[in-house]
Chains A and B, each alone.
Chain A
Amino acid sequence: MNGVDALTVRDLRSGYGSYDILQGVSLRVGQGERVGVFGPNGHGKTTLLNTISGIVRAGAGAISFMGKDITRADAATIVERGLIHVPQANLLFPAMEIQETLELAAYTRRAREQRGASLERVYGLFPRLKERRTQLCRTLSGGERQMLAIGVGLMCRPNMLLLDEPTLGLSPKLKDELAAAIDSISRSGVPLLLVEQDISFILSLVDRMYLIDHGEVAQEIVRGSEIDHQEIMRMYFGTAQVAR
């Protein structure tokens, strides 16, 4: 599939009810690329991911995955194609056990065929989940829940991952652990679209980044370009949070 982007989004408008939260977003993610989406809360980052994964219907514009149009596809079809969305603060299935949840997550035929191998990989990446495999999801800590959410994403056999704020509410140590896990997943060739609020986390992982503002792409930043950490903070929060 050389030459075809993993994901392209063109002039996407969508939202809830009659109000468009996304006011025409365009972005692309190349094969094997890791791309970030950064921006203030309430400016459409989560809506963007929900629309790509078919949870929210696109009002206008086009989304294509591996060269095929998925703008009007339903969520199940998109999962079958291997475009996997790991939502923000995912509570998963409170009354299900961890292992049960992981096994269920290999739901599509494609994923089921590789279930054993996927499970081994998830447990290798997050040994803590293996220790707690008979615990109910609702008993997990924030960090474990995030690991499980990513584990569930891996069980789906992703050809691409959409991650929504995987570090929300985690301690610095857990953030590092998670960053290492995400890094290792993407190195296996899975392109990433990572939505984050934590600017250093996002900069440590991505090759390229889009700044979203009021439901539009305000700027595209390529790693190593002149815009740096301080300037991004200044653009969004008025002042730089870290003194130079």
Chain B
Amino acid sequence: MSADAFSAMLVSGLVLGSLYAMMASGLSLVWTTLGIFNFAHGVFMALGAYIAWSVSDAAGLGLWLGAGIAVSVAAMAGVGILVERLVIRPFYGERDMLLITVMATLAVMMFLEKGIQLVWGPRLKQLRPIVEGKASILGITISAHEVLIVFLTPAVLFCLWAFLRWTRAGRGIRAVGQNPDAARLIGIRVSTMFALTFALSAVLAGLTGILLGSIRLMTPTLGSEPLMKAFIIVIVGGLGSVGGTVAAAYLIGLAEAVLLTFVGMYWSPSILFIGLVALLLVRPEGLFGRSAR
């Protein structure tokens, strides 16, 4: 295999891994903090892209793309808080909270998918790339937008890490995930932390959508395939560890690129899944997980 082909594989793995990491970290954060899986995470991704499109595209408000991103981030934070309030909070403390919220978030997913279809119509859309033109990375020339993805993602994830590690609210989120009763006894309002977690997670999904929305064509179900991948990544990375999720995202992105190179489009997904199932047989707690949440 030539050095060029190898670099090409590596770069495409990095692009994939970055998108997966941004997407799955939000999903993982919600799991770690609230102990639920959010099936609406994928549609959050689509919604974020559509909102940015409406603000920035000539067919919408026609503003600068930066404005689109800013509006989208703010809107997604609001959507996250709203969804937590309306369909998660009523079920706090229920014995079957996990199952109930699976249904509740699936309902949100369907509602928002149809809502997007209704508001924005069936025509395929595409966001402008954040940066135009081509750029070189590791000797491979790809679109500058994809290079941006590779560098922007670690920056965003670093911010997330720093927030969780150093700020009062971030530490509060971690505390609530690890021991809600102990958190309440030092004065942390658990429901506020849950809402904040949902907001953060929705923003991360929306950002992923914006990044993907200029590579692929946008549809209301833009996020459903990435969501599936993100679930697998969260499980493989080890439930309850956002860091593990990020590492697994990059590993799986790279593995996918390798498979695409050597096996091709057709069989890659199944081989990837079989490999991951085998991995979970050996390490049921995932790559970086501990046995308990």
Contacts and interface: CB of A to CB of B under 8 A. Distances in A.
Q: Do the two chains bind?
A: yes
Nearest to B192: A76
B186 A152 contact: yes
A53 B187 CA distance: 10
B147 interface: no
A91 B179 contact: yes
A220 interface: no
Contacts, number: 63
B4 interface: no
Assign chain B's interface to a size class: 10 to 19
Nearest to B171: A104
Contact of B175 (A53, A85, A93): A93
Contacts of A96: 171, 174-175, 178
Interface in A74-114: 74-76, 79-80, 84-87, 90-96, 100, 103-105, 107-108, 111-112
A111 B168 CA distance: 13
A107 B189 CA distance: 10
A109 B168 CA distance: 11
Contacts of A92: 179, 182
Chain B interface SS verdict (over half): helix
Contact of A76 (B171, B174, B188): B188
Nearest to A101: B175
A79 B186 CA distance: 6
Contacts of A84: 185
Contacts of A86: 185
A108 B182 CA distance: 14
B216 interface: no
Given A100-B171, A107-B187, A112-B168, 9 more contacts: A54-B184, A76-B187, A79-B186, A86-B185, A93-B183, A96-B171, A104-B168, A107-B188, A111-B187
